[in-house]
Chain A
Amino acid sequence: MLALLVAQNIAFYIIAALMVVGAIRVVTTKNVMHAALWLVLVLSGAAAQYILLAAEFVAITQVLVYLGAIIVLFLFGIMLTRAKTGNDDDLDNKKSAKFIGAGIGVLLLGLMSFSLIDGFKDTEFGDLTVQRTAEVSDSIFSTYLLPFEVLSVLLLAALIGAIVIARRD
């Protein structure tokens, strides 16, 4: 049991480091295409973390929806707006705005880490058990049936809206 826990921790920290590096590259890189590819690293890292948390169905959905659909959509967006394929110096706001953004980010991080460390000091997970897909579907189609239906209407509306907005007429 202890060996498994150590392995889980090592895996967590490696994946977390990759995710943070990827996320920083997404917001700092000078190449739009590279930003999309670094985003792939962050999103697949999140899927791996879901596996560590024994949430298999969300992990698979993350891979299908984010890596399969959303990244492709981003690449389409990049190509259709004819972004420069090489480095582009005109992606960021001016220096002062970047400093203010960084200040707000660091302030927010300090505040959140203080309250998290204060609130959940060393709460442990205990023995994680696999959260079965059958349980998830039972929950969606009983307790959360109404939000589920509302969500499907929202998706339909977003689909029609996107077509109407992007259509050439």
Chain B
Amino acid sequence: MFLNQFLLLAAILFCIGVYGVLARKNGVLVLMSIELILNAVNINLVAFGAYWHVNDMANVSGQVFALFVIAVAAAEVGVGLALVLLIYRNRQSIDIDDVDMLKG
């Protein structure tokens, strides 16, 4: 297997996620697109980790960093969904276009 297979798959997923963040206006769907982006990064980390592991058996840094990213993603979704719920409670909709009070 080539290293590039996994890196290109991750690049495609990352770009789909970026499109989702830009094109969606529903708060929950934007968070889902962010999950896609974080997953793409994780695939990259694990692929590079496996690549280095072949040469240096004691080195599993790629996996460790992927685990850290998973944990941070879980925290991010928790806080993000709490914010979405708060927006919904205040304005009965989760369109992030409506949240423009800072515009003046």
B91 CB, min distance to chain A CBs, angstroms: 11
How many of chain A's residues touch chain B, expressed as a range?
A: 35 or more
B5-20: which have CB < 8 Å to A? 5-9, 11-20
Distance from B97 Cβ to chain A, minimum over Cβ atoms (Å): 7
Task: Check if B67 is an interface residue, CB within 8 A of chain A.
Answer: yes
Q: Are A97 and B12 in contact (CB under 8 A)?
A: no
Other-chain contact of A127, B20, B54, B58 (Cβ < 8 Å): B54
Contact between chains at A70 and B74 (CB < 8 Å): yes
B21 — which chain A residues lie within 8 A by C-beta?
101
CB pair A97–B72 under 8 Å, yes or no, is no
Mark contacts of B51-90 with chain A using CB atoms, 8 A cut-off: 1 yes-contact digit, 0 otherwise: 1011101111111101110111111111101111110110
Contact B61 A113 (CB under 8 A): no
Known: A78-B28, A139-B60; 7 extra A-B contacts, CB below 8 A, are: A20-B12, A35-B32, A91-B29, A106-B15, A117-B4, A120-B2, A120-B4
B residues within 8 Å of A by Cβ? 1-9, 11-29, 31-33, 35-36, 39, 42-43, 46-47, 49-51, 53-55, 57-64, 66-68, 70-79, 81-86, 88-89, 94-95, 97
Q: List 5 A-B pairs, Cβ < 8 Å.
A: A27-B33, A39-B36, A66-B70, A73-B78, A102-B19
A contact residues vs B (CB 8 Å cutoff): 5, 8-9, 12, 16, 19-20, 23-24, 26-27, 32, 35-36, 39, 42-43, 46, 49-50, 52-55, 57-58, 61-62, 65-66, 69-70, 73-74, 76-78, 80-83, 90-93, 97-98, 100-102, 104-106, 108-109, 112-113, 116-117, 120-129, 131, 135-136, 139-140, 143-144, 147-148, 151, 154-155, 158-159, 161-163, 165-166, 168
